Amino acid sequence: MLFWQVIKVAFRGILANKLRTVLTMLGIIIGVAAIIAMLSIGEGAKKQVLESISRFGTNLLRVRPGAARLGHIRTGAVETLTLDDAEAVRSIPGVSLISPSVTNMSQVKYANKNSTTMVNGTTPAFFDINSFPVATGRPFDATDIKLMKRVVDIGTTVKKEIFGDGPAVGEEIKIEGQSFLVIGVMSSKGQTSWYDPDDQVFVPVSTSQKRLFNQDFVNDIYVKVGLVEDIPKVKAEIEKILRSRHRIPNGTESDFSVRDFSEFVATMKQTSQTFAYLLSGIAAVSLLVGGIGVMNIMLVSVTERTREIGIRMAVGARRRDIMKQFLIEALVISVTGGLMGIALGVSLGFLISYLGDWETIITPYSIVLGFVFSVLVGLVFGIYPAGKAARMDPIEALRYE
């Protein structure tokens, strides 16, 4: 029997039971669609994370306080990083910019409107380090820091919440009950799924320490390294200098940590990829169920067409022709279901992006993977029913009622 004739016979057998065929395809359709949709979500999440981090650059180091311990139990942050530590780090060769930061959540008020936001006490270098310029007005400067002035630059999210479409520069707002003059509005960084850099206000670091929060320590020290290849060397030097300044003996854990943003990028990429693969693995279970459905329906089909198989064998059909016929039927069901699943998965990806405000990226890899899975399902779960049909005794098959 010619191959095209086998295909024709296979389609005729499938179309003879349309509803049963569609129900059989359902598991494959859902499985393939889920794989494509989940991988598109994972790729979208990875892109968003990388875009968010790229706004700050990968040649950054962030020095953070460590954690206090009670025995082997961590009990909270250690308040050991100071402005003097920041100045010591500034002298390290390879460091181009440095900015200490004092952060705290506070309520910002203007007239009868208020917003709870992050107050970031820092230096002008912070804006250069994080590529975060002022769009309207001016950033605070060294004089403002020296005089501990109550001036503030606000993010666009805060500006919209308390000023709306009205002007902000020149107005006074209250932070922790103290009046601050708005001297600038930041450019918009854009909100991500996990962080809104525009939902914060910036004040001079001295003002935040002495006038707002009454603390001598800093919460972070941001370090910009001139060359990316110098990051490991600078990182090691920071650890060496700060351990010496904090008098930490050899073999003892540091009371601070130095985070490399490039490591963070790699970790986030791996995490989002693992998440996508996990979701795809769950979707593959649906394909497994669909494959079992294909096998069961093909076994039913073999039983129903026992006399037909006997007649074909009696008029000269070889066992491999019978096996080929039923295997192609299984493949047609699974591949058709796979193609429908690809269409559904792509549609779901766009729908999730449109309705859920979550960026999704449909990659050729996910489409090929879904198609390959559907072909494998047809092959793997079609072999047994096809083999059972091919092994039938033609005489017994002709006698079957």
Please report the DSSP string for 289-308 in residue order: HHHHHHHHHHHHHHHHTHHH
252 DSSP assignment = S
Q: Which two tokens stand for residue 231?
A: 């990051």
Residue pLDDT, tens place only, 362-389: 888 888 888 888 888 878 888 888 888 8
Residue 389 · residue 302 · CB < 8 Å: yes
CB 43 within 8 A of CB 276: yes
Element (H, E) at 256: strand 256-260
Q: How far is CA 125 from CA 3, 141, 341, in A?
A: 73, 9, 52
Residue-level pLDDT at 357? 66
Of all residues in the chain, the percent with pLDDT exceeding 90 is: 30
Phi, psi of 74 (to 5 degrees): -75, 135
The residue ranges of every structural domain in the chain are: 3-51+267-399, 98-222
Residues of the chain with pLDDT under 50: 69-76
- pLDDT of 72: 46
pLDDT at 184: 94
Predicted local distance difference test score (pLDDT) of residue 236: 92
Is 400:307 a contact under the CB 8 Å cutoff? yes
Q: Residue 366 and residue 95: Cα distance in Å, rounded?
A: 42
Q: What is the pLDDT of residue 5?
A: 65
Alpha helices (H) along 246-363:
261-304, 306-314, 319-356
Dihedral sign (CA 322, 324, 325, 329): positive
**178 DSSP β-pair partners:** 175
CA distance 294 to 382: 7
What is the C-alpha to C-alpha distance for residues 26 and 267, in angstroms, rounded to an integer? 37
CA 203 to chain centre: 32
Residue recorded with tokens 């941001």: 222
Nearest to 327 by CA among 277, 273, 387: 387
**Predicted local confidence at residue 80, as pLDDT:** 81
CB-based contact 40:359 (threshold 8 Å): no
